[in-house]
Structures are given as C-alpha cells and as structure tokens.
Structure 1
Amino acid sequence: MNKSIVYKLAFIASLGGFLFGFDTAVISGTISLVRDQFSLNAVMEGWYVSSALVGTITGTLLAGILGDKYGRKEILIVSAILFGVSAFGCMMSQSFQALIVYRLLGGIGVGLASILSPLYISEIAPAKIRGSLVSLYQFAITFGILVAYFTNAWFLGISESNVFINSNGAIQNIFISEVWRIMLGSETIPALLFLVLLLIIPKSPRWYLGRNKVDKAERILIRIVGEKEAKQELAIYKSNIKSIAINFRSILKGGFKTALMVGVILAVSTQLCGINAVIYYGPRLLEETGLQLGDALGGQVIIGIVNVLFTIIAIWKIDKFGRKKLLVYGISGIILSLVIIGLLFYMEVDNPYLLIGFILIFVACFAFSFGPVIWVLLSEIYPTNIRGFAMSIATFALWIGATGIGQLVPWLLENLKPYGTFWLFALLTLPSIYLVIKILPETKGKTLEEIEHYWLNKK
C-alpha cells in the first residue's frame, strides 16, 4: 500500500468536507446581522438558514446520478465552482432575494460534495484503514466548522475596531457596517484551492469497475493498495458480478433494500438529534442565557474545538472499535445530554457555562459517533454499480431532516421553548439505538466487495 498516495487523495477529496462544514457554520455568525439589516421575521429567518439546505437537497439528488454517469472527480469539480460562485455572490448581494439565490447555489455544492467526497475516499481506501480515511471527511467538516467560527469571531472583532475606519464605501460596508458580507465571502479562498487540487487526482477505480473498465481500475488500485490486495478485490468483484446483475432495481430487493433502509433511517437520525440546531443557532441559544453576541461566538469557537477533537478520536479508533460500538456509546450520550440540556433550560438555571458544558458533551458524543460513522457507512454498504445512486437516496433523507431542522428551530424555540425543543430531539433519537444494535452489521476490516457480498446473501 502506498500510504503517501492514499492520504494525499483522501486529503484532497476531504476538502469538500471542509467547504461543507464552513458553508454550514459560517451562517451562524450572520443570522442576527442579516435579520436586523433586512428586518426578517421568524419564518424569513428560518428561510435564510434553510435556503442553502434546499439547494443541498437538489445537489444530493443530482450527485448520485451525475457521479455514477460522469465520475466522482468531475462532479466534485462542479461542486468546487459552485462553492466559489456562492461565496463571492453572497458577499456582493444587494438584496435579500439575491442573497438567497447564492445561498441556494452554495447548497447545491454542499449536496454534491456531501455524497461524492466520502464516496471517492471510500473507493480509493484500503479496507484496513477505510474507516479512518472516510472519517477524515468528517474531520474536515468539523475543522471547516471551527474555522468558520474563528473567522466569524475575528471579522466581528475587526468590525468593532478602527482598522478600516477611514476606508472607502465598499470596504466600509464589507468589513464594518455589513460585516456578514466578508464572513460569507471568505469561503471563496478554500473553494479555489479545492478546485485546483481536484485537477490532479485520478478517477475512482470503483467507478471504472462499475463501467466494466477493469484494466483502468486495476492500474489505479495497484498504484494505491498494491498488487496483492488489488488482485483480491478484483477477484471478489468478479465473483459478485457472476452472482447477480446489480442494477437500479437491486436496491429495492433483498438485502440491499435492508441496507437502503438502514442508511436512510440513520442518516435522518443524525439530523433529528438536533446537531444543526447547535451549529446554526448556537449563538442565539447562548444569547438567551445572557451572553452578548461576541461572547456567544466565542462559545461557538469552543464548541467547534470540541467537535474537532472528538472527531479525531473517531478517526483514531473507528477501525479498531468498529462502527457499531462507537454508535451505541455516542447515541446514548447524545440522548442523555439532550435531556439534561432541556432540564437546565426548564429550570432556568442562571449559569450559562453549565449549559455550555452539557452542550459540549452533546457535541462530543455526536463527534465520535453519528458525525463520522454515518459517512463511513453510507459510503461502504451499497454495491459498486449503484453506490452513488443509493447514497444519494440516503443523503437526500439526511438533508430533508437538516432542512426541516433549519426551518423549524426558530418556531420550535418560540413555541416549545428551548427545553421542549431539546427534549423533542432526545425523543426522536431513541429509535436509532435499536437499529444499530439489532440490524446494522459490523463492517470494519471488510473490503467493499465483501460488504456487497454480505448484502447479496441476506434475505
């Protein structure tokens, strides 16, 4: 195995996760600023947050079909372009309607990257370290979230200083009076980097196999995992092809139907637990405890650091402990912390740092379980020929859940209050425990072809 090539390719593909995380989190520092500037009500505020998620749903639906037809690499290049156009467009928008249009474009980029980045990594990764490498994608998401928190706090600090006090109108607007512009526009830089680096990576070897271009797939596999493992994986692939002709209808039959249901339910559960309520509306939740916006953004930075650190734990241990164990412990911690957070809000405990502490526990539990493991599972439990299409269905369900949360949280906070909102999240997360324990197979250490063979034989 040529580790340097494997890690280089995984790093480049994971930049899609960085942009995904940055795009998701950067909006949190702009919500109150955009709301005040455009006089938004609760519904329009929710639309500002969830509009990108509507674009994400569109991108998710397109990603599997386009990725299976044209290749993972080519559609990732499209996503990089969309990220850059969206960021620059948001920065220069002169109306709320234009801002929404560019957020929609960025959302399409997120949708494409959220499927094809982990999918590409899983298809170039050796079986023994696939979990860790795909988890690198989730690490990139959390790191992107953290960088967004830092840049938001940094740009807010600049706007409150006298650095650009004598600047012209455009600079004055972007950095001081309408600082949300530079917060959103700063994503242009990593988007350009992602675009340039994508030009040097090869196509996915599994994508070549799905088109029966075995010679091209073999050359790439040998370069990445070595000749011995490449021959083994190709032998299993050819055996599976002889067992059954896998097509789009296969996903609705036998074991593959079970795999689809597992992926969809777990994907939705990652959103129903309320993680994006903390990512998107964290500053608002912390402001309700009495913190000022600057302090609230500082609290978000701490949340982002914890998110990154515990994702590193998942990367370190996922191929040793397995997917199931991380999920069971993590989901249990998620439910318990959600109940306690709701209780603190209900009792009106006058200690914002106690609340932040349990929010950090919630984020930590998510970061070493649901966060990274879902992308690993979705990228490995479906057959090669229709992996992109099947992953699109599961990820589509994930983003439907994310869109609903993004749109409904302001309403939930107003009508159910914060305590009712967090208790609802805890209740909605409970079914996933049963699914993980009783139905989900352990996939650590298995090649993609071996996992495919498992579902082929499952009735």
Structure 2
Amino acid sequence: MGSFTFGYSIAVINSPETIVENFINETVIQRTGVPILASHLRSYWSLIVAIFAIGGMIGGLSAGAWADFFGRKKGMLLNNAIGIAGSMLIGFSKMGSSFEMIIVGRVILGFNCGLTTCLTPMYLSEIAPANIRGALGVVHQLAITIGILMSQIFGFQEILGTKSLWPVLLGLPLAPCIIQLLMLPLCPESPRFLLITKHQETEARAALVTLRGKFDVDLDIEDMKSEQRMCQAEPKISIAQLIVKSSLRKQLVIGIVMQISQQSCGILAILYYSHSLFVSAGMLPNVATHAVSGIGAVMVVMTFISIPLMEYVGRRTLHLTGLMGMFVLSIVMTLALTLNGTVKGMQTVGAITVIFYVAAFSIGPGSIPWLIVAELFPQGSRAPAMSICTMINWLSNFINGFTFPYVQKGLDDLSFVPFTILLLLFWGFTYMYLPETKDKTIEQITDMFRQQQQEKQSKTDGVAKENSYLVGFKKM
C-alpha cells in the first residue's frame, strides 16, 4: 500500500492543475484584493509539483537509519502516521483557504514516500528467494503504476476532478495509509534483518517458516549465515564510510546512475505534465484528462508483463531494451511536436508515441533501478546504499519536475531533446558497467564485484611492479 501511495501522489497532481491554480489565484485575491501574477502562479504550481520530491529526498536519505533502527516492518508501520498527517493537511487546505497547506502537506507526504521507496524494495528483496527475487521486486513498481492509474481515473471531472472535490482527490492517500496500518501487522519481519542485523536466529527461522509455508528452511538459514559471516568480515558501515569505501564504489556509482536514469529519462515530463502536453498538442481539456488515464493503464499492463520477463530475460537486458526504446521514441516525440502545426495527423502520432514511451519505461527503467540497488550490496552496506540512491532518485525527481516547465517554455517543441541525449548516455553506461544479477544470490553478486576489484588491483600492482623495474634499470 505504501508503493500505491507513492504512485498515486506522483500522478494525482496532473489532472487538477487548472483547478488548483484557480484556487491559488482566488486565495491571493481574498488576501490582497488583486490577482496573482502569471509568473508567480507558474512558480507556485511548479513548487507544489516538485516540493513532493524535497520531502522524498529527506525521507530517502533517512531511510537507511530508519530501517536499521526500527526494522523493516515496524519502520513501514510508523511511516503510515506520517502519510496520514500529510494527506490530512492537503485534504483540509480548501477549508482553511490556504494553498500553503498543500505545499506543506506535499512535503510531508513526500517524506513518507521517500521512506517507502527505500523500505519496500529492501523488505521485498530480503524476504524473497533468489529465483523469484526479481519478479517479487517488480511488485513494488506494479503497486506504483496501479496508484498512478487510480489517481488518473479519480481525476476525471465525472468523479473527483471538480472544483468542489479536488481536496478529496489530493488527500486520498489517507486511505491506503490506514489500510496498511491495519494489514501490515499480519506480515512477518524480514528474516535477513532478524538474523544478520539483530542476530535473532529463532525469530528469523519463524519468519521464514511463515513466508515459505514449510518448516524446512535450513538452506535459507545457511545462505543468510554465509552472508552474516561476510558482513562480520566487512562490518556495517555508515553513509559517509560507504562514499569513501573503494571496494563498494563501483556498485554505488552503478546504483546512482540507475536512479538518475529512471528520473531523467523524460517520464516525469509525461507523468506531471502530460495533460498540458496533450492540450498544447490540440486536445480538448476533457479529452486530455481521459487520454492521461491511458498512460496509467499502459504502465500497469506493461509492468505485469515485465514480472515473468524479469526472471526469464534478466535485469540488464530489460533495462537496455527500455532505454533504447525510449531513446528512439523521444526522437519521434520531438518530430511529432515540431510538425504538429504543419503535418496532418501529428497529434495522433504524438499521443501514440507517449503510450509506447511509457511502455518502454515500464519494462525497464521503471522497476529495475529500485530492485538492482538492493541486489548489489551486502547486508552491512545495503541500508546506507539504499539511502544514498533513494536520495539521488528524489533529487533527480525534484530537478526534472521543477525545471521541465521552464525547459518546455524555452525549447518549446524541442523540449524532449535533452532527454534524447541523456537516454543515449544512460544506455552506454548500462551496457558497459551493469552486470546481470538474475538467479544470483546476494553472496554471489558480492563475490563477483570482489573478484573484479581484485583483478583490477592485480593489474595495478603488476603495472606498478613493472614500472619499478624500469626505474631500477634506468638507474643502473
């Protein structure tokens, strides 16, 4: 339910854009007697959209310490209280005649979702066996896409996208927070957290029995103990220690670039501003609102499809395929926007391109970055790594969400060109550096990186030794 809240909160701000802007203008008129300047209104709206990511950054950066202190399960339980507080502030903003309540509520809700985007993938990766870890990890993204779709449907003018009901539309994350608060106590704590972090083997074994539905969990326990021995040899580290630790630097850079690729691939321009993009392409506002829901439906369907593909094709191949598809489609999008006024049918081409763009995102960059970070790091460094990468994800979210209206105004029909360039760079990085983690245990993935580090060190030592011989020869 936390992932659902995240997806809903990202996309819900799209459809009621005009209604909320009118509310801001009316509020300013009540206070000052004069309408708000158009430039100030655009800045306020961009802030409402993007401030969600500021809360997300803070929540993401805090998530590792939060997860280790409270535990995965209890951490998610406590997080629901934060989501309830943010939702209520937004829901009562119209009654309080205060658009500032929307801004503060979005920050608090962002903090809630920042914790969620770290805690949920971490929990799922730790409870899943290796053979279904990828598929189960996609459940997080699937819940996000369902939240996006539901926010778009509820945003119809026939439902909650009206002048009187928009506070209910924006404050609806209250419901999934309450549901999760009631249902999560039925789930077990992460057995990896219990055994490796808390050293509670009996409790970990009981959690595994509940999760696997069988009493013979010795293989799982042995796998965790093997990782525990590895963690004891390489103890738990802080965020600062992780940043300077050379043996984990490659994994950290891969994790960071994966998160940036998810948020800087152009998908936020579609999720946050697709309604205005469709209107500028010639659609009527009501038609644009319904067209936006098609985006959410495609995301749900393609994420469902990616669940079996995750274990059959692999993370690396899916991510590369998604990035290349988006690269090609971003070029088509630019052509459709540029030729819209001169070539007949470009409006239809643009709308179809958006649908395929979202489909390409859903099979790769949509879900894999969340999963891959949890797989790349051992238990002792997983929490701080998830914190750093989640913070980077939200920072990218904020930068892209806040700047795109200005990019769109400055570049007009060429506003997707920056994404085209970035997608090509992301594809090249992924091709060169991201290993395949399908069907590998956390221990095997860690060993793979350790061997690469040792081979690199051996080559460096060999070059240094050769140079020392040359220096000695020259002295002779």
- In the superposition, the TM-score normalised over structure 1's length comes to 0.89
- Which AA in structure 2 matches 1:299? A
Paired residue for 1:231? 221
1:222–1:450 CA distance, 2 compared to 1 (3 A): farther
Paired residue for 1:332? 324
Paired residue for 1:211? 198
After superposition, the CA RMSD in angstroms is 1.8
Inter-partner Cα distance in structure 1 for 2:111 and 2:414:
32
Larger radius of gyration: 2
Is 1:36 the equivalent of 2:26?
no
Deviations 1:234-258 (A, max 9, x none): 3421442454334233563344111
Inter-partner Cα distance in structure 2 for 1:47 and 1:398:
18
1:214–1:252 CA distance, 2 compared to 1 (3 A): farther
Is 1:394 the equivalent of 2:389?
yes
Deviations 1:308-353 (A, max 9, x none): 1111111121011110110111110011101110111112255422
- Which AA in structure 2 matches 1:62? S
Paired residue for 1:366? 361
Q: SS of 1:27's equivalent?
A: coil
Is 1:261 the equivalent of 2:253?
yes
State whether residues 231 and 380 of structure 2, in contact with CA within 8 Å, keep that contact through their aligned partners in structure 1. no
- Which AA in structure 2 matches 1:234? M
Inter-partner Cα distance in structure 1 for 2:173 and 2:362:
23
Q: Which runs of 5+ in 1 are unaligned?
A: 1-14, 160-174
Paired residue for 1:375? 370
Correspondence 1:393-412 to 2 at 5 A: 393-412=388-407
Equivalent residue for 1:280, pick from 272, 289, 295: 272
Inter-partner Cα distance in structure 1 for 2:344 and 2:281:
7
Equivalent residue for 1:355, pick from 350, 356, 359: 350
Paired residue for 1:12? none
Inter-partner Cα distance in structure 2 for 1:406 and 1:387:
28
Q: How many residues align?
A: 427
Inter-partner Cα distance in structure 1 for 2:312 and 2:279:
40
- In the superposition, the TM-score normalised over structure 2's length comes to 0.86
Q: SS of 1:199's equivalent?
A: helix
Is 1:104 the equivalent of 2:107?
yes
Q: SS of 1:144's equivalent?
A: helix
Inter-partner Cα distance in structure 1 for 2:235 and 2:81:
36
Q: SS of 1:29's equivalent?
A: coil
Deviations 1:410-435 (A, max 9, x none): 11111111x32211111112222122
- Which AA in structure 2 matches 1:85? A
Deviation of 1:376 (Å): 1.1
Q: Which runs of 5+ in 2 are unaligned?
A: 26-39, 454-476
Paired residue for 2:446? 452
Q: SS of 1:212's equivalent?
A: coil
Inter-partner Cα distance in structure 1 for 2:228 and 2:59:
32
Correspondence 1:3-152 to 2 at 5 A: 15-39=1-25, 41-93=41-93, 94-152=97-155
- Which AA in structure 2 matches 1:393? I
- Which AA in structure 2 matches 1:51? I
Inter-partner Cα distance in structure 2 for 1:290 and 1:442:
43
Deviations 1:227-286 (A, max 9, x none): 143133134214424543342335633441110000001101111111111001110100
Paired residue for 2:293? 301
Deviations 1:110-146 (A, max 9, x none): 1010110111011000100000001011011001100
Inter-partner Cα distance in structure 2 for 1:297 and 1:250:
45
Q: SS of 1:247's equivalent?
A: coil
1:246–1:299 CA distance, 2 compared to 1 (3 A): same
Equivalent residue for 1:244, pick from 234, 247, 264: 234
